[in-house]
């Protein structure tokens, strides 16, 4: 499987579109047509969760929105709605860098980090204006539910999942607000104090992007969710927490670039030593596997880890395929190199790997060769006790593939909240990026459509993430105390058993 992220950057003549300049209808329609053609030819996941009729319908809506000239930002929001509607967390659509940098300058941002707790948006920062944990009801007279609904398009998740959007809300609320409603100088906030119903109002001043970032770094929930945002330092750990229970935390699968990488080999050795220890200490009958912070990474970290939990032979995928062997619309590709010859070599290498892995055309799909999806065996040191799997909305990509295999093919008791990554499958592994010729909007998606090797379960709904056996969310009181609700619930569950 092509696991490395291959990007192509194509350099067009410099174009900076001013914030309020409206682009001609014919230019916008041309970009929308190209965007649609690219998705239909290259994106194998286009109809994974939506029928052709539904996809055609949203494009009909999009074209109906371009009956008069529009600003780049307004057109971008139309493209975002289509991107989000497809249902893949690997979808990404971005504005030109120069436009974004200019647009986000000055004191224009909502000042305080926020977090969704019990489906309520609360202040996640100790400050003197609006107390920590206060529930926000409206901002600038816009109801918070309306705001959150508008923000949904800015953060993509697999299928019909919505829990994963809380990750984007928690990290980028201020940026989304600026994008959706424009730069602000002040914010009129209607709120209520923690565990109170009386509504209060406070006007707070906007801040710069630098202060916004600094406030986020100092958010109240940092001790609990530090691993869900930014670079992860402690990628994995193992410890014995009681005479009969151990904890294995795997915070990312971004551990080396491939199976030969030194970092991956060190991880493989470490994991094997953990399960060797468990094999030698049979009194440890409970293993908590915490993947709540795992947003994905590279193979074979996910598969090797699962081999220590598996009780029978398994495959990474039940099926994998792509739509093409020769990259469609290469004139809009984003290349890594400037020189034409190197671009051509890069494109050829990419296509040669695709042809090697996906050689056979069946019903319009190029199917993965079995040598890239071998039947794998459980490791000799596989754990035979009771597994407790901790999950959260942060879990995605390789993290959700591992979690799906563990939830579907072991005795794992799954605790936490629905993942943003799909249970039955996703589009992943190999990203590709294009740039639209008139607006310079970039769009990225992964080309490999994967059906994961998992059984059907009554609790699992197609198009949703991994559904926990025990749904456990942090309460407002637990949030204020920075209590790890799910972990403590798991320990009590083990004690009761």
pLDDT per position in the chain (497 positions), as tens?
333 333 333 333 334 455 678 999 999 999 999 999 999 999 999 999 999 999 999 999 999 999 999 999 999 999 999 999 999 999 999 999 888 777 778 999 999 999 999 999 999 999 999 999 999 999 999 999 999 999 999 999 999 999 999 999 999 999 999 999 999 999 999 999 999 999 999 999 999 999 999 999 999 999 999 999 988 889 999 999 999 999 999 999 999 999 999 999 999 999 999 999 999 999 999 999 999 999 999 999 999 999 999 999 999 999 999 999 999 999 999 988 778 888 899 899 999 999 999 999 999 999 999 999 999 999 999 999 999 999 999 999 999 999 999 999 999 999 999 999 999 999 999 999 999 999 999 999 999 999 999 999 999 999 999 999 999 999 999 999 999 999 999 999 999 98
329: DSSP letter: -
Beta bridge pairs of residue 446: 431
Phi, psi of 9 (to 5 degrees): -110, 120
Please say whether the beta carbons of 422 and 159 come within 8 A: yes
pLDDT confidence of residue 17: 54
Q: How far apart are CA 116 and CA 151, in angstroms?
A: 13
> What is the model's pLDDT at position 5?
37
Q: Which of 297, 280, 278 is nearest to 387 (CA)?
A: 278
Q: Give the β-pairing of 386-391 and 413-416.
A: parallel
User: Bridge partners of 317?
Assistant: 452
Residue 19 pLDDT: 65
Burial of 128 (0-12, 13-18, 19+ CB in 10 A): exposed
- Under DSSP, the state recorded for 283 is T
Say how many Å lie between the first and final Cα of the chain, rounded: 42
Of 73, 105, 79, 102, whose CA–CA distance to 92 is shortest?
A: 79
| Cβ neighbours for 8, distance < 8 A, ≥ 6 positions apart | 333, 334, 335, 336, 343, 346, 347, 350, 432, 433
Place of tokens 């350099």: 11
Rounded to whole angstroms, the Cα distance separating 282 from 284 reads: 5
DSSP code, position 33: H
Cα separation, 229 vs 225, in Å, equals 7
pLDDT value, residue 207: 98
Is the separation of the CB atoms in 393 and 164 below 8 Å?
yes
pLDDT (0 to 100) of residue 30: 98
Segment (H or E) for 87: none
* Integer Cα distance of 378 and 366 in angstroms: 29
> Which pTM was predicted?
0.93
Q: Is 226 helix (H, G, I), strand (E, B) or coil?
A: helix
Other Cβ atoms within 10 Å of 494 Cβ, number = 18
């Amino acid at each position: 499987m092509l696991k490395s992220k291959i990007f192509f950057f194509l350099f067009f003549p410099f174009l900076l579109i001013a914030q309020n300049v409206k682009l001609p209808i014919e230019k916008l329609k041309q970009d929308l047509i190209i965007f649609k053609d690219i998705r239909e030819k290259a994106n194998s996941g286009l109809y994974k969760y939506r029928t052709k009729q539904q996809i055609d319908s949203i494009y009909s809506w999009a074209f109906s929105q371009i009956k008069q000239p529009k600003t780049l930002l307004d057109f971008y929001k139309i493209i975002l709605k289509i991107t989000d509607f497809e249902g893949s967390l690997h979808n990404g659509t971005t504005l030109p860098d120069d436009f974004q940098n200019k647009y986000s300058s000055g004191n224009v941002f909502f000042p305080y980090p926020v977090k969704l707790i019990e489906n309520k948006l609360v202040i996640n920062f100790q400050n003197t204006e609006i107390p920590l944990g206060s529930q926000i009801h409206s901002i600038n007279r816009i109801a918070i539910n309306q705001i959150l609904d508008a923000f949904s398009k800015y953060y993509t998740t697999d299928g019909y999942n919505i829990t994963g959007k809380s990750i984007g809300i928690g990290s980028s609320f201020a940026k989304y607000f600026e994008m959706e409603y424009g730069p602000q100088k002040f914010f009129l906030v209607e709120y209520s104090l923690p565990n109170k119903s009386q509504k209060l109002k406070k006007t707070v001043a906007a801040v710069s992007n630098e202060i916004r970032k600094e406030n986020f770094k100092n958010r109240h929930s940092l001790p609990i969710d530090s691993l869900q945002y930014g670079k992860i330092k402690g990628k994995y750990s193992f410890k014995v927490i009681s005479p009969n229970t151990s904890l294995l935390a795997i915070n990312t699968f971004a551990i080396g670039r491939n199976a030969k990488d030194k970092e991956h080999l060190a991880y493989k050795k470490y994991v094997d030593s953990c399960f060797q220890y468990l094999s030698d200490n049979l009194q440890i009958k409970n293993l908590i596997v915490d993947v709540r912070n795992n947003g994905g990474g590279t193979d074979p970290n996910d598969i090797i880890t699962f081999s220590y939990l598996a009780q029978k032979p398994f495959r990474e995928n039940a099926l994998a395929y792509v739509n093409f062997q020769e990259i469609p619309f290469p004139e809009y590709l984003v290349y890594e190199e400037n020189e034409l010859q190197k671009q051509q070599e890069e494109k050829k290498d990419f296509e040669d790997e695709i042809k090697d892995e996906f050689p056979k055309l069946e019903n319009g799909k190029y199917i993965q060769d079995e040598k890239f999806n071998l039947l794998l065996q459980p490791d000799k040191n596989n754990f035979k006790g009771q597994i407790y799997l901790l999950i959260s909305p942060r879990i995605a990509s390789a993290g959700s593939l591992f979690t799906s295999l563990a939830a579907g093919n072991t005795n794992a008791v799954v605790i936490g909240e629905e993942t943003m990554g799909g249970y039955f499958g996703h589009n992943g592994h190999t990203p590709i990026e294009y740039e639209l010729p008139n607006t310079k909007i970039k769009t990225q998606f992964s080309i490999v459509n994967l059906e994961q090797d998992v059984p059907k379960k009554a609790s699992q709904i197609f198009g949703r993430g991994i559904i926990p056996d025990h749904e456990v969310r942090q309460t407002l009181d637990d949030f204020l105390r920075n209590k790890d609700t799910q972990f403590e619930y798991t320990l009590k569950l083990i004690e009761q058993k």
